[in-house]
Amino acid sequence: MSAVAHHRVHPRRLAAVVTLLLAALVLTACETPVEGNDSRSATAGMPNLTQELQAQKWRLVWTDSSVATRVTNRVTLRFAGDEVFGQAPCNAYRGRFTTDIDNWTVTITDVSTTKKACAARVMRAEREYLRALVQVRDVEFSDGYFDVVIDNSTGDRLSYEAYDTYR
């Protein structure tokens, strides 16, 4: 199953992205090449994939994800240490994750849930979500690191946005 992505452009996000691009262009123009610069020293101090995933609390964007059965329940995702956890459409879940920094991939395994029963439609959405979650591979950050999009080889897409838990 596949989904067509529809991104809303928020003026603040657009302004942030334009500012970041301009700053990058200025810094690139001022940079003098250094012979023998290897990729490790070039990226020293920059966040890696694991740090980017762990730095935020993520909320599923239903309208930009390929889960066929959509519900209004908030679905969340968190990364901490080597664990992944969150709230599925009905139950809380927990599992393990690893990242491949060179290929920007994440592998989620050993997912287990609490055993609460919900309405049939919610349980169907939960099964679809968890099936896609354990098949994720490619991670793509977009909109100035406000969103993370996780795709897999079967065409599933789970799109998340960072959220503030105090809202």
In the structure, what pLDDT confidence band is assigned to residue 64 with cuts at 50, 70 and 90? confident
Q: Which helix (H) or strand (E) holds 76?
A: strand 76-80
| Any domain includes 6 | no
Domain of residue 36 covers 11-162
Q: pLDDT at position 40, please?
A: 41
| Any domain includes 1 | no
| Any domain includes 26 | yes
* Residue 36 pLDDT > 80: no
- Return d(Cα 136, Cα 151) in angstroms, integer: 6
* CATH classification at residue 38: 2.40.128.270
pLDDT per residue as tens digits for the range 141-152:
776 544 577 777
pLDDT per residue as tens digits for the range 80-128:
999 999 999 999 999 999 998 888 888 899 999 999 999 999 999 999 9
Q: pLDDT at position 13, please?
A: 53
Say what percent of the chain tops pLDDT 70: 66
| Any domain includes 167 | no
The total number of structural domains in the chain stands at 1
In the structure, what pLDDT confidence band is assigned to residue 49 with cuts at 50, 70 and 90? confident
Residue 119 in contact with residue 21, Cβ under 8 Å?
no
| Any domain includes 4 | no
Residue 118 in contact with residue 94, Cβ under 8 Å?
no
| Any domain includes 2 | no
| Any domain includes 61 | yes
| Any domain includes 53 | yes
Structure tokens, 90: 């009905």
Q: pLDDT at position 83, please?
A: 96
To the question of pTM greater than 0.85 for the whole model, the response is: no
Structure tokens, 137: 């591979």
